[in-house]
Structure 1
């Protein structure tokens, strides 16, 4: 099966699964056209997001904010990113924690299936990162991700009844309940390279991983960003 056909098949399966959930939990009945359009719109959005990331990765960081920076003294920085593989039908999540010296503390990779909307995948990455950091009982944490939509919605006071809105609400609840003197911030793609590489790596792994030593795939990036 050609890659583009497999991608279309994957998103249609996801849309059928979404249709099943809407019928089961919301008693909503959708037409075949609605189910197909949702899958096609997801694939179109995903392709556009990948094209944008590729363009951004080719642009040299020539303006402020395009390089990762250490947190202030006494704080931790938690970088988060999501990667989307239509071939594997997976969403990979990469999370990396560093201290105020820029030194590696811990990293984690995990993945979800089937593939989903880009913003939902990014928001789930933030939620799962918060749950992990809370389990580690860390405070004074700067959560950074390169999804401006997710960060904007996290700080917004507007009511959002969508699936994305529900996940953001869970993020806010987790944040307000467990984190003191912490923040959620948007950064440019170039300043989130470690999490991006981990997220891509996540989709190729059979299971979730917690790294207590610097993974080989991000070792050079960590060293360069400590300079």
Structure 2
């Protein structure tokens, strides 16, 4: 199990933030050489736009197009929707990232340990 948090400057829209997070996750997994990965996103709009291959010139769609290009190199992987209320691990990591802005965890972080054990 691995986890990663990072901090980026700017003033993107909420949908762009979700799309950028997905892109960063896909790029990281690609760089690690992993396959058979399910990327869970708590934004129905991001998931639907990604899976329905909606292309446009808006930044949101450009980011998702880059996601689709990158995920093609990760065998047997997909993006699926997970309700925010049920994705406790992502919620805890997001809250912890305020204190650990740029970390890679090669172990189960203490903030989510109780949720996974």
TM-score, L = length of structure 1: 0.49
* RMSD of aligned Cα (Å): 1.3
Q: Distance in 1 between matches of 2:13 and 2:116?
A: 29
Q: Distance in 2 between matches of 1:163 and 1:114?
A: 13
Structure having the higher Rg: 1
Q: How does 1:1-227 map to 2 (within 5 A)?
A: 105-176=1-72, 178-205=73-100, 207-223=101-117
Distance 1:180 1:204, change over 3 A: same
Deviation of 1:154 (Å): 0.3
| Greater relative contact order structure (CA < 8 Å, 6+ sep) | 2
- Matched residues, number: 117
How big is each residue's C-alpha offset from its partner over 1:138-191, in whole Å with a ceiling of 9 and x where there is no partner? 101111111111001101233311010110010000011x11111110011133
Distance 1:157 1:116, change over 3 A: closer
> Structure 1 stretches of 5 or more lacking a match?
1-104
TM-score, L = length of structure 2: 0.92
Runs (4+) off by over 3 Å? none
Which of the pair is proportionally richer in strand? 1
> Structure 2 stretches of 5 or more lacking a match?
none
